[in-house]
Structure 1
């Protein structure tokens, strides 16, 4: 194992995170990638073309490691974050491995004929359940899943989710603070069952339902940060409330999740054009369903995009932002800082960014420097809502 791991680590050390958010303390791979590949190495080396699948590969370590080091051909890969997908593509092109894999949606085209599935365990159980159901539904009966993660982020609940869909679930020994859970024997009752996703939820403060696929931030619930941000409009705080906003004809929801902010804006301001974007595949699919059920699908343009790249310079009268504060499982304020700088570009002079964030992150100095004057609209024990005017 150590020899294979060393060969894989030497290869993975050539990978970069570009164009994903990068920092000195972040790497394009971790030991969970190495352990998944080494644990499955014998199966991968003897695999027929097109029978190895990766799910959740962050920057290419699983997909390209399987191809370049273990000899897999026709690898199929699904990644929820757009930046992970682009990082894999850039690494593959740079290493002359572009033809070794194909990017596929999470479903039958990804999993049909899959014999070995390598999974980077997602942060949420809902995301894991959707992955497990899709594998059990579309992969052959002899499929084997190798789900890897860092021990500090792994729980028994993840094994329980896998056990809902597979007859055999077993955790391997820890190695360099990582572990692999293997699953096999898809339970046949799910072959014709209704899919568990998307799920729908309701909130007493919302006049519409929320749809969510597994990896969608907040799921089917109105998260606390968005609730606090919306309360500043309902209370008429800031320069004006939803109903008193005739000048707000172009609204951008950056990091739309399930679509709660974009749909709220579209319902409150029926003459406004609304753009919603998120780099998460699950999020944009969820927002589309939420907007459709609320009757505003024709006025909410939805994009899977990196930051604000789908929006023209100076287009927005109002930007709504509830930024993430992590990259993968790593908490890092730089992710939100990157989005704040995007907001400066897309806001028109005099336009407003309304942002909610964990108070300890201290974004105010950057907001003042990058965008303009800042006023606090709300604050509780966890979150702060600010209004920032584009100078």
Structure 2
């Protein structure tokens, strides 16, 4: 068991000394669920939120179970799971979206607790509606990121929620007894909100960053979108989130074909709903991809980018650097990258080096908007 976990890698995700493929919560959940996993029938176990395969491969290696259904929001985590499984010669699992087929008839659900309560609500609602009536959810996280509100969210959908003792700064919650449909909240995902100031409708699933709101970085770039000179060709909203920039660009520049891409399954599902809600599905294509890895070299005229600077709770500027490099790869010579980023990160020298000549469009204490031209 320990050998399997010790052998796991994060690749193709960012790897560094302070970033790990397995944490104490993975180990705690596998121990807490051991009695449930022993002898579990094929196809009865579901894993949600497995970061790099520790829960899935740990359960398979220890208990010899098969037919494990897995949902991971991040595509890089999904690819890491498959890469680890191939390297270790393990199988017996399939990857799924956050849809009813993921949990249909499930008796055991292992869940890495998401940070967002809305994300937890969507998972709990899905389990309560579609899993076996005797399902047991073993959920866990780092104590510093857990709140009693998580218990409350689970309890809205599952009648019994028990907090277990903490270990190595991690804690497990065990939930069971799905509530009858009449006692559960009404379905709410994806949610929808109108933004009259932007003339947009934003749709969001529980795990989407900023939900149905529009984060201030995106708003900073939106304020200058009409200054983008590109009017024809192909544009990419790289790391599209709920699709706000892609929709706004498609409306502003109807001559552009727009591709919205994100590695988050929640983001992609949200962006597709946002695109449909704003009637631009004929001009915006939404894809799930790690950065721009599904786009050919020198195939794009414009990239819009509001890059993250965290991996989970860890500050990792390398994520943005990688996205700059991917933008440079897919841009044609003379193509443009318009980006917004936290001013304290001082990305301009990186953009100059990786993409090409870069001018500052606007800067304030929080955000900087830049325009780079591909050499």
Task: State the TM-score, normalized to the length of structure 2.
Answer: 0.96
- Match of 1:219? 211
- Match of 1:105? 97
The answer to whether the 8 A contact 1:137-1:190 is kept is no
What CA distance in whole angstroms lies between the structure 2 residues aligned with 1:187 and 1:96? 40
Instruction: Please report how far the alpha carbon of residue 310 of structure 1 lies from its aligned counterpart in structure 2 after TM superposition.
Output: 2.1
**What secondary structure, in the 3-state scheme, does the structure 2 residue paired with 1:209 have?**
strand
Query: Residue 124 of structure 1: which of 113, 116, 119 is its match?
Result: 116
Query: Residue 13 of structure 2: which of 20, 30, 41 is its match?
Result: 20
Instruction: Please report how far the alpha carbon of residue 193 of structure 1 lies from its aligned counterpart in structure 2 after TM superposition.
Output: 6.9
1:179-190 correspondence to structure 2 within 5 Å: 179-189=171-181
Deviation per CA, 1:264-318, whole angstroms, max 9, x where unpaired? Answer: 1100011111111001111111111111121110111111001111222112221
Instruction: Please report how far the alpha carbon of residue 328 of structure 1 lies from its aligned counterpart in structure 2 after TM superposition.
Output: 3.0
What CA distance in whole angstroms lies between the structure 1 residues aligned with 2:83 and 2:159? 38
- Match of 1:208? 200
What CA distance in whole angstroms lies between the structure 1 residues aligned with 2:245 and 2:306? 9
The answer to whether the 8 A contact 1:77-1:103 is kept is yes
- Match of 1:178? 170
- Match of 1:56? 49
**What secondary structure, in the 3-state scheme, does the structure 2 residue paired with 1:181 have?**
strand
1:135-154 correspondence to structure 2 within 5 Å: 135-154=127-146
1:270-309 correspondence to structure 2 within 5 Å: 270-309=254-293
What CA distance in whole angstroms lies between the structure 1 residues aligned with 2:218 and 2:71? 29
Instruction: Please report how far the alpha carbon of residue 184 of structure 1 lies from its aligned counterpart in structure 2 after TM superposition.
Output: 1.0
Query: Residue 331 of structure 1: which of 308, 312, 315 is its match?
Result: 315
- Match of 1:31? 24
Deviation per CA, 1:200-249, whole angstroms, max 9, x where unpaired? Answer: 01223222201111111221011110000111224xxxxxx25x544x42
Query: Residue 269 of structure 1: which of 240, 244, 253 is its match?
Result: 253
Change (3 A) 1:53 1:319: same
Which region of structure 1 is more displaced relative to structure 2, 184-193 or 125-134?
Answer: 184-193
- Match of 1:46? 39
What CA distance in whole angstroms lies between the structure 2 residues aligned with 1:196 and 1:10? 42
Q: Is 1:361 matched with 2:345? A: yes
What CA distance in whole angstroms lies between the structure 1 residues aligned with 2:78 and 2:58? 15
What CA distance in whole angstroms lies between the structure 2 residues aligned with 1:233 and 1:339? 20
Deviation per CA, 1:247-269, whole angstroms, max 9, x where unpaired? Answer: x4221100111100011110001
- Match of 1:4? none
Instruction: Please report how far the alpha carbon of residue 142 of structure 1 lies from its aligned counterpart in structure 2 after TM superposition.
Output: 1.0
**What secondary structure, in the 3-state scheme, does the structure 1 residue paired with 2:109 have?**
strand
Task: State the TM-score, normalized to the length of structure 1.
Answer: 0.92
The answer to whether the 8 A contact 1:123-1:329 is kept is no
- Match of 1:76? 69
Q: Flag structure 1 segments of 5+ consecutive residues without an equivalent.
A: 1-7, 235-240
Instruction: Please report how far the alpha carbon of residue 62 of structure 1 lies from its aligned counterpart in structure 2 after TM superposition.
Output: 0.4
**What secondary structure, in the 3-state scheme, does the structure 2 residue paired with 1:202 have?**
strand
Instruction: Please report how far the alpha carbon of residue 128 of structure 1 lies from its aligned counterpart in structure 2 after TM superposition.
Output: 0.9
- Match of 1:3? none
Change (3 A) 1:191 1:167: closer
- Match of 1:66? 59
Which region of structure 1 is more displaced relative to structure 2, 253-262 or 87-96?
Answer: 87-96
- Match of 1:238? none
What CA distance in whole angstroms lies between the structure 1 residues aligned with 2:34 and 2:202? 41
RMSD: 1.6
The answer to whether the 8 A contact 2:156-2:185 is kept is no
Deviation per CA, 1:21-66, whole angstroms, max 9, x where unpaired? Answer: 2222211110100000100111101311111110010110000000
Deviation per CA, 1:88-140, whole angstroms, max 9, x where unpaired? Answer: 11111111112x11112222211122111000111211111111110111111
Counting matched residue pairs gives 375
**What secondary structure, in the 3-state scheme, does the structure 2 residue paired with 1:206 have?**
coil
The answer to whether the 8 A contact 1:165-1:190 is kept is no
Query: Residue 359 of structure 2: which of 359, 375, 379 is its match?
Result: 375
Instruction: Please report how far the alpha carbon of residue 320 of structure 1 lies from its aligned counterpart in structure 2 after TM superposition.
Output: 0.4
